[in-house]
C-alpha cells in the first residue's frame, strides 16, 4: 500500500510550503513557483519510488514546473504523481488567502494522464454524490442537492471561480436563490471543502485548470466525495495532445473513476497562506516555522490535520504520525 509513503510526502509538502514563504507578497510568481518546485523535485527524487508525473503544473502560464512525463525517484514502487507545487501562485505573491502546496499519489496507471488545459469541473461531498451530475442543468443539480442535504436551496453555498466565463451560471444560481461564493484562485481548496462540512461549501463547479482537477479528485476520493470533469480543448493542437495521450474522445465526461482509478491513493496539502482548510506558514524568529497540512488516505478513507514545527535551517518535525 502507498500509505507507507505518507510521512515522506508530508515532509516534502511542508518543506515546499516553507520554501514559498519568503515569496509571500513579493509579486514574483516565477520565483515562488521555482522555490516550491525545486524542493518538491529534490524531495521526490530521494524516495524509493519509480514515479511518473502525469499531471504537472505550469504549461498554461509558462511557470517553473514539474513536467508531464517527468520521471522521479530512486526506483521501486511504480506510481503516478499529480502535483501543483503552489496551488494559488498569484494568491501567494499577493499575500492572499487559500494558497497551498499539493501532492497526489496513486499506483501507476491510476491517474488521468492529460495535457495541462482547461477542464469543466463539479465536486460535491459524500452526502450529495448521487444527487448531482456535470451533465445536468444547474437548476436540476441545486434542487436535487437541496433534497439530499435536507436544506432549502436558499441555504446552499456554491463555490465558483470569479471569471467572466461563469457570469451566466452565477446569475442562474442566484435567480434560484442559492448563495454563490466567488473566489479568485484555489480550485483544489474549494473542491475539497465540499467534503468538509465545517467549511459551509455544498457544491463546487466551474471551468479551471485540469491539473487542479486531478489533484482535487484524489483528495475527494480519500474523503468519500465526488468529482467529475470534462476537458475543454481550445485549439486543434490541444485536441491532438489529448489524442496523443490516449484520450480518444477529448470531450467525454470524466467520471471520478476516470480521474482516479484506485482507492489506494494519497493526498497531501500544506497551507502557504491561511485558508478555509488550514493555516498558512507562520514564522517565529525564536522557534522557527509552523505549518499545517492535510493528509488524506483513500485506502481507509482517513484524514488528518497535522501541525508541524521546523526550527530555522533544520528538518521539519511533525507533532503527529500517520497510521
Q: Which helix (H) or strand (E) holds 269?
A: strand 266-271
d(CA 98, CA 279): 9
Known binder of ligand: residue 257?
A: no
Which ranges in 3-82 belong to alpha helices (H)? Answer: 6-20, 29-44
Whole-angstrom Cα distance, residue 94 to residue 219? Answer: 26
> Nearest CA to 178 among 158, 193, 162, 192?
158
Judged on CB neighbours under 10 Å (0-12, 13-18, 19+), 158 is buried
Shortest CA distance to 43 belongs to which of 74, 12, 7, 19? Answer: 12
Read off φ and ψ for residue 209, nearest 5 degrees: -75, 140
End-to-end CA distance of the chain: 12
Is 187 annotated as a binding-site member?
no
Residue 33 annotated as binding? Answer: yes
User: Annotation-wise, does 164 bind a ligand?
Assistant: no
Contact 64, 28 (CB under 8 A): no
Alpha carbon distance 244, 53 (integer Å): 16
- Do strands 226-231 and 266-271 pair parallel, antiparallel, or not at all (unpaired)? unpaired
DSSP β-bridge partners for residue 56: none
CA distance 170 to 139: 11
C-alpha–C-alpha distance, residues 27 and 67, integer Å: 24
Residue 184 is assigned to a ligand binding site: no
C-alpha cell at 189: 481548496
Q: Which residues are annotated as a binding site?
A: 33, 57, 84, 87, 212
Q: Which residues are annotated as a binding site for Mn(2+)?
A: 33, 57, 84, 87, 212
Amino acid at each position: 500500500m502507498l500509505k507507507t509513503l505518507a510521512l515522506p510526502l508530508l515532509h516534502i509538502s511542508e518543506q515546499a510550503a516553507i520554501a514559498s514563504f519568503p515569496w509571500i507578497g513579493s509579486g514574483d510568481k516565477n520565483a515562488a513557483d521555482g522555490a516550491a518546485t525545486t524542493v518538491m523535485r529534490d524531495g521526490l527524487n530521494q524516495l524509493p519510488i519509480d514515479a511518473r508525473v502525469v499531471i504537472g503544473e505550469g504549461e498554461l502560464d509558462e511557470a517553473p514546473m514539474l513536467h508531464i512525463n517527468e520521471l522521479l525517484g530512486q526506483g521501486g514502487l511504480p506510481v503516478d504523481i499529480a502535483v501543483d507545487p503552489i496551488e494559488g501562485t498569484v494568491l501567494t505573491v499577493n499575500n492572499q488567502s487559500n494558497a497551498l502546496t499539493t501532492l497526489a499519489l496513486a499506483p501507476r496507471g491510476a491517474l488521468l494522464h492529460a495535457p495541462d488545459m482547461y477542464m469543466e469541473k463539479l465536486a460535491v461531498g459524500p452526502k450529495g454524490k448521487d444527487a448531482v451530475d456535470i451533465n445536468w442543468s444547474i437548476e436540476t443539480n441545486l434542487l436535487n442537492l437541496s433534497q439530499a442535504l435536507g436544506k432549502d436551496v436558499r441555504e446552499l453555498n456554491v463555490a465558483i471561480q470569479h471569471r467572466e466565463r461563469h457570469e451566466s451560471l452565477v446569475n442562474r444560481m442566484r435567480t434560484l436563490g442559492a448563495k454563490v461564493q466567488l473566489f479568485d484562485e484555489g480550485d483544489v481548496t474549494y473542491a475539497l471543502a465540499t467534503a468538509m462540512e465545517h467549511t459551509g461549501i455544498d457544491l463546487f463547479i466551474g471551468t479551471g485548470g485540469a491539473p487542479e482537477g486531478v489533484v482535487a479528485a484524489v483528495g475527494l476520493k480519500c474523503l468519500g466525495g465526488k468529482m467529475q470533469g470534462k476537458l475543454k480543448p481550445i485549439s486543434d493542437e490541444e485536441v491532438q495532445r489529448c489524442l496523443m495521450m490516449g484520450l480518444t474522445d477529448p470531450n467525454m465526461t470524466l467520471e471520478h473513476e476516470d480521474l482516479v482509478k484506485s482507492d489506494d491513493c494519497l493526498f497531501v496539502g500544506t497551507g502557504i497562506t491561511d485558508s478555509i482548510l488550514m493555516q498558512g506558514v507562520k514564522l517565529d524568529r525564536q522557534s522557527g516555522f509552523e505549518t499545517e497540512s492535510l493528509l488524506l488516505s483513500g485506502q481507509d478513507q482517513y484524514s488528518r490535520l497535522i501541525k508541524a514545527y521546523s526550527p530555522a535551517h533544520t528538518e521539519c518535525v511533525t507533532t503527529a504520525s500517520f497510521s
